Amino acid sequence: MNKFLKIMKALGDPSRLRIVNMLSLKPMCVCEIRQIIGSSMSTISNHLKILRNANIITSEKEERFINYHLRTDDELVNKVLHLVKDISDKQLQKDLQKAKKVDRVNIC
């Protein structure tokens, strides 16, 4: 139950829910996420830390970028992420459209 509560608490913030929604489309770096959400780098980094501590996301270095992506190897995380995908919200849809177009080369 603690694992479930940690995941739900992490997803209880609108910005973190937006980040998870975007990461369901593709792995992204901090610059790309910041470009879409509009918060400071430190705020985005703090959100990513909370999501990582809840084991919702992982990261890996690729050249000069650190890519964040959803953990799909955990059954509980997958179940919760399935629910997130079913949320119908205009902001989440706008974020997905922006995520499709964001180009890290031009912003990082």
Would you kindly state where each structural domain of the chain is located, as residue ranges? 2-99
Tens digit of each residue's pLDDT (9 = 90 or more) over 4-42 = 889 989 999 999 999 999 999 999 999 999 999 999 999
Element (H, E) at 35: helix 30-37
Tens digit of each residue's pLDDT (9 = 90 or more) over 80-107 = 888 887 788 899 899 989 999 998 877 7
pLDDT of residue 105: 79
- The larger pLDDT score, comparing residue 57 to residue 78, is at 57
The answer on pLDDT for 108 being more than 80 is: no
Q: Give strand pairing partners of 59.
A: 68
pLDDT of residue 47: 97
pLDDT of residue 89: 85
pLDDT of residue 103: 84
CATH-assigned architecture of domain 2-99: Orthogonal Bundle (1.10)
**Residues 56/102, Cβ–Cβ less than 8 Å:** no
Tally Cβ neighbours within 10 Å of residue 77: 20
| Residue 42 tokens, joined | 């430190």
Element (H, E) at 69: strand 65-70
